[in-house]
Amino acid sequence: MLFPIFVIATLLELYVIIAVGNNIGAFNTVMLVVITAFIGSFLLKQQGFSTLRKAQHSMMQGQNPSFEMLEGVVIMVSGILLLTPGFITDTVGLLGLMPWSRELLLIHFLQKNTEKIFKTTQTTKEKDAIEGEFWED
Tens-place pLDDT, residues 37-53: 888 888 888 888 888 89
Region at 107 (left for phi over 0; alpha for psi -120 to 50; beta for the rest): alpha
- The reply to whether 129 falls in a domain is no
Look at the chain and report how many structural domains it folds into: 1
Is position 28 within any domain? yes
**pLDDT, tens only, 93-134:** 989 988 899 999 989 888 887 777 666 655 555 566 677 777
Residue 74 within a domain: yes
Instruction: Give domain status of residue 14, yes or no.
Output: yes
Assigned domain for 127 exists: no
pTM to 2 decimals? 0.72
Q: Which residue, among 38, 54, 103, has the nearest Cα to 74 in the 3D structure?
A: 103
* Residue 67 lies in domain: 7-109
Whether the pLDDT of residue 20 is over 60: the answer is yes
124 inside domain: no
Q: Is 118 within the bounds of a domain?
A: no
Residue 29 lies in a domain: yes
